């Protein structure tokens, strides 16, 4: 049974008995507040999105709804994108309607829906191996709800991929793509794709599609058009797709993780029907990489990560490292180019369900069945903090890269990190971690004695060098002792949905939360809606200047006030 009550020690929490104002959507009930407070001000519920009411409900139990943000430019992506920019496809460039009030400089505007799109079709063209069903007739009919640009939410519910305009307050999606053979499970978008194919979709059956989002929006039909089909009918791997991701700066390369512990590397510019065969795994418990024998094969490589499901994957911003978490409870960090394991560690209890990198590549967040938010340091190669506040499994984590720390050091490096987590307890938790203030155990202590505590400094000759010697490259560490990891309490705890949560995304103007049943809420940042058309950066920086120091929240005991 999922416990949805919040801890009484959380100052900014709202519980099921709260009497705040409510919205009128079916996804909300009395007791859910339409705002939550932070040191910089109130986050307010701007509007929400959901699936069509006619969507078959019995399909919902098979898959969990996940959300992807996609920003389409007025023209197809240029041929010379920066290598690192694709790593921000999950959030960069996404603007809500509030951007217009802030006088955003990128020129994005809400869709006007005044007729034809007026834009040329992407060069994705017809699928080399055919799309699902015949769509030659429907593809010739332009969708009047698409004008060639905008920010969109892509999410799955039941047997459909749904696309909703982020800048519109309409709750229902503007586009629905239905699959007859299986349910969609995961998806990913690359806003700097060099050709029209910028959206990936993974299915419960193991099938994978790459499509042009622009082309889907131009078409009024409910069948996918112009798709490249990979692992058709699960010919290579018929286990469920669990997560999918473009490789940052990978020139069209993408990876697909499956429920059997295998991860495949594809190239979208190769024929999806190219046959690949890989050797039989002799030991399911060992990490191994096998490459396809022929140059035309697709996928081009198979990584066997673990025994059991890979639940989440995440690339560092520069694409150098790949983090995976799985049912076996291990975080694993790989050097993607060199194809070897760098480091990793075990959860305190149970499987891990989600992971996310900080933008500077220094820290990784994980969450899972132990109800903890784990902060992993790449420099230390260990857990440096546990966040305690969820009452059930943690299903989504993310760093807020748009939040500015008011106390950066002289080198401009981030000292305080803001990140969030969502869980099956229906709560959104926000955290702040000031790394210079956190107290962590020394890597080595006297045999049999109590651990010694000190500051996590990483200068030459510091404890890091001892840690490097103590933990060789490629070592998977056991779960740490509860006494050896400092605990932090949430800055904010807010019950945002009535169903268990599945996704969390930060944008420059808002925070997006989604539940597993396919309802999405957009929470506007403090001051965004009320501000005059000036500059958002100045506004947010001003609102954060008075943020109190949170180092007092960090200690070796739980919720120490």
Q: Are residues 290 and 409 in the same domain?
A: no
Task: Classify residue 293: in a domain, yes or no.
Answer: yes
Please give the Cα distance from 229 to 32 (Å, whole number): 42
* pLDDT band for position 413 (cuts 50, 70, 90): low
Residue at which a domain ends, from 270, 304, 338? 304
Exposure pattern of 227-262 as b/e (b: 16+ CB <10 Å)?
Answer: bbbbbbebebbebbbbbbbbbbbbebbbbbbbbbbb
Please write the tens of the pLDDT for every residue from 309-338.
Answer: 999 999 999 999 999 999 999 999 999 999
The number of C-alpha atoms within 13 Å of 334 and in the hemisphere containing its C-beta is 21
Average pLDDT over residues 449-476: 46
Q: What is the CATH number of the domain that holds 296?
A: 2.130.10.10
Q: Are residues 183 and 297 in the same domain?
A: yes
Q: Give the torsion sign (CA, 342, 348, 354, 358).
A: negative
Please write the tens of the pLDDT for every residue from 375-391.
Answer: 999 999 999 999 999 99
Average pLDDT over residues 49-76: 78
Q: Are residues 241 and 339 in the same domain?
A: no
Task: Classify residue 102: in a domain, yes or no.
Answer: no
Q: Are residues 354 and 408 in the same domain?
A: yes
Structure tokens, 42:
């109130």
Residue 368 has pLDDT above 80, yes or no: yes
* pLDDT band for position 61 (cuts 50, 70, 90): low
Residue 457 has pLDDT above 50, yes or no: no
* pLDDT band for position 346 (cuts 50, 70, 90): very high
Q: What percent of the chain has pLDDT over 90?
A: 53
Residues in the chain, overall count: 561
Task: Classify residue 243: in a domain, yes or no.
Answer: yes
Name the residue with higher pLDDT: 473 or 260.
260
Average pLDDT over residues 33-50: 93
Predicted local confidence at residue 460, as pLDDT: 31
Strand order in the sheet with 262-267: 241-246, 253-258, 262-267, 301-304, 288-291
Predicted local confidence at residue 437, as pLDDT: 57
Average pLDDT over residues 90-94: 34
Predicted local confidence at residue 527, as pLDDT: 84
* pLDDT band for position 131 (cuts 50, 70, 90): very low
Task: Classify residue 501: in a domain, yes or no.
Answer: no
DSSP state of 559: T
Predicted local confidence at residue 536, as pLDDT: 35
Residues 6 or more apart in contact with residue 42 via CB below 8 angstroms: 35, 36, 526
Please give the Cα distance from 335 to 355 (Å, whole number): 16
Residue 86 has pLDDT above 80, yes or no: no
Task: Classify residue 18: in a domain, yes or no.
Answer: no
Question: Measured between alpha carbons, how far is residue 279 from residues 7, 266, 283, 304, 352 in Å?
Answer: 51, 17, 12, 11, 28
Q: Are residues 247 and 199 in the same domain?
A: yes
Q: Are residues 217 and 289 in the same domain?
A: yes
Residue with tokens 């007729």: 115
C-beta of residue 503 within 8 angstroms of C-beta of residue 514: yes
Cβ burial of 295 (10 Å; 0-12, 13-18, 19+) is exposed
Task: Classify residue 389: in a domain, yes or no.
Answer: yes
Coil/strand/helix, residue 80: coil
Predicted local confidence at residue 430, as pLDDT: 97
Please give the Cα distance from 154 to 213 (Å, whole number): 10
Average pLDDT over residues 131-150: 54
Q: Are residues 228 and 330 in the same domain?
A: no
Residues 6 or more apart in contact with residue 473 via CB below 8 angstroms: 342, 343
Structure tokens, 162:
């749904």
Q: Are residues 351 and 267 in the same domain?
A: no
Please write the tens of the pLDDT for every residue from 168-193.
Answer: 889 999 999 999 889 999 999 998 88
Coil/strand/helix, residue 368: strand
Structure tokens, 285:
């418990």
How many domains does the structure of the chain reveal? 2
Peptide bond into 138 cis (omega under 30): no
Name the residue with higher pLDDT: 492 or 296.
492
Predicted local confidence at residue 546, as pLDDT: 35
Average pLDDT over residues 228-238: 93
Q: Are residues 281 and 175 in the same domain?
A: yes
Coil/strand/helix, residue 117: coil
Range of the domain at 67: 61-72+146-260+262-304
Name the residue with higher pLDDT: 138 or 345.
345
Name the residue with higher pLDDT: 511 or 556.
511
Predicted local confidence at residue 59, as pLDDT: 53
Predicted local confidence at residue 415, as pLDDT: 81
Q: Are residues 272 and 333 in the same domain?
A: no
Average pLDDT of the chain to the nearest whole number: 75
Residue 287 has pLDDT above 60, yes or no: yes
Predicted local confidence at residue 299, as pLDDT: 94
Name the residue with higher pLDDT: 96 or 304.
304
Q: Which of 481, 479, 483, 440 is nearest to 462 (CA)?
A: 440
Residue 210 has pLDDT above 60, yes or no: yes
Please write the tens of the pLDDT for every residue from 521-545.
Answer: 999 999 886 553 433 333 333 333 3
Task: Classify residue 400: in a domain, yes or no.
Answer: yes
* pLDDT band for position 447 (cuts 50, 70, 90): very low
* pLDDT band for position 290 (cuts 50, 70, 90): very high
Task: Classify residue 163: in a domain, yes or no.
Answer: yes
Q: Are residues 252 and 161 in the same domain?
A: yes
Q: Which of 374, 368, 386, 401 is nearest to 507 (CA)?
A: 401
Q: Among the listed ranges 249-253, 279-283, 451-455, 533-537, which one has the minimum average pLDDT value?
A: 451-455
Q: Among the listed ranges 268-282, 286-300, 343-357, 450-464, which one has the minimum average pLDDT value?
A: 450-464
Name the residue with higher pLDDT: 234 or 104.
234
Q: Are residues 268 and 387 in the same domain?
A: no
Average pLDDT over residues 7-28: 37
Predicted local confidence at residue 7, as pLDDT: 36
Question: Measured between alpha carbons, how far is residue 151 from residues 95, 111, 213, 252, 486 in Å?
Answer: 7, 9, 11, 21, 40
Predicted local confidence at residue 73, as pLDDT: 83
Strands in 179-295 per DSSP E: 184-189, 199-203, 208-211, 228-230, 241-246, 253-258, 262-267, 288-291
Residue at which a domain ends, from 241, 273, 304? 304
Furthest-apart CA pair in the chain: how many Å?
75
What are phi and psi for residue 207, nearest 5 degrees? -65, 150
C-beta of residue 273 within 8 angstroms of C-beta of residue 344: no
Q: Which of 163, 345, 325 is nearest to 243 (CA)?
A: 325
* pLDDT band for position 408 (cuts 50, 70, 90): low
Residue 340: CB atoms within 10 A of its CB come to 12
Q: How many angstroms from the chain centroid is the CA of residue 545?
A: 28
């Amino acid at each position: 049974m999922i416990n949805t009550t919040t801890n009484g020690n959380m100052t900014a929490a709202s519980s099921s008995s709260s009497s705040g104002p409510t919205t009128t959507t079916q996804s909300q009930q009395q007791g859910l507040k339409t705002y939550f407070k932070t040191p910089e001000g109130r986050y307010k519920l701007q509007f929400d999105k959901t699936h069509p009411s006619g969507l078959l409900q019995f399909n919902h139990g098979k898959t969990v709804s996940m959300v992807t943000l996609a920003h389409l430019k007025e023209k197809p992506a240029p041929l010379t994108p920066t290598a690192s920019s694709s790593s921000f496809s999950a959030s960069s460039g996404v603007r809500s309607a509030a951007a217009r009030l802030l006088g955003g400089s990128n020129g994005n505007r809400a869709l006007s829906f005044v007729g034809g799109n007026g834009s040329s079709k992407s060069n994705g063209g017809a699928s080399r191996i055919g799309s699902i069903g015949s769509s030659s007739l429907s593809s010739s009919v332009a969708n009047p709800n698409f004008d060639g640009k905008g920010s969109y939410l892509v999410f799955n519910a039941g047997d459909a991929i749904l696309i909703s305009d982020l800048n519109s307050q309409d709750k229902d999606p503007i586009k629905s793509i239905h699959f007859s053979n299986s349910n969609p499970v995961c998806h990913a978008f690359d806003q700097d794709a060099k050709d029209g194919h910028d959206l990936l979709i993974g299915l419960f059956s193991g099938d994978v599609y790459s499509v042009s989002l622009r082309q889907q929006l131009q078409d009024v039909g409910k069948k996918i058009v112009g798709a490249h089909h990979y692992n058709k009918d699960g010919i290579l791997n018929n286990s469920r797709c669990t997560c999918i991701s473009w490789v940052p700066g990978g020139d069209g390369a993408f990876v697909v993780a499956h429920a059997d512990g295998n991860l495949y590397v594809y190239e979208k510019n190769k024929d999806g029907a190219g046959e690949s065969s890989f050797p039989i795994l002799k030991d399911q418990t060992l990490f191994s990489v096998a490459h396809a024998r022929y140059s035309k094969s697709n996928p081009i490589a198979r990584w066997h990560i673990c025994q059991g499901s890979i639940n989440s994957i995440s690339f560092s911003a520069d694409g150098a490292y790949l983090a995976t978490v799985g049912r076996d409870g291990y975080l694993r960090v790989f050097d993607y180019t060199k194809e070897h394991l760098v480091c990793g560690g075990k959860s305190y209890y149970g499987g891990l369900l989600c992971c996310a990198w900080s933008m500077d590549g220094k820290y990784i967040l994980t969450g899972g069945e132990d109800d903890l938010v784990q902060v992993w340091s790449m420099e230390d190669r260990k857990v440096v903090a546990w966040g305690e506040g969820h009452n059930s499994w943690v299903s989504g984590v993310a760093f807020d890269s748009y939040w500015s720390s008011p106390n950066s050091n002289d080198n401009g490096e981030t000292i305080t990190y803001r990140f969030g987590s969502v869980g099956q307890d229906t709560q959104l938790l926000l955290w702040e971690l000031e790394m210079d203030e956190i107290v962590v155990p020394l890597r080595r202590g006297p045999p049999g004695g109590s651990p010694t505590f000190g500051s996590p400094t990483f200068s030459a000759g510091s404890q890091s060098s001892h840690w490097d010697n103590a933990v060789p490259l490629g070592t998977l560490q056991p779960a740490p002792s509860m006494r050896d990891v400092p605990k932090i309490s949430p800055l904010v705890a807010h019950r945002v949905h009535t169903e268990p949560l599945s996704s969390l995304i930060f944008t420059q103007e808002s925070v997006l939360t989604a539940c597993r049943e396919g309802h999405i809420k957009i929470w506007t940042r403090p001051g965004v809606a009320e501000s005059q058309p000036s500059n958002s950066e100045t506004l947010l920086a001003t609102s954060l200047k008075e943020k109190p120091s949170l180092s007092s929240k960090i200690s070796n005991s739980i919720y120490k006030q």
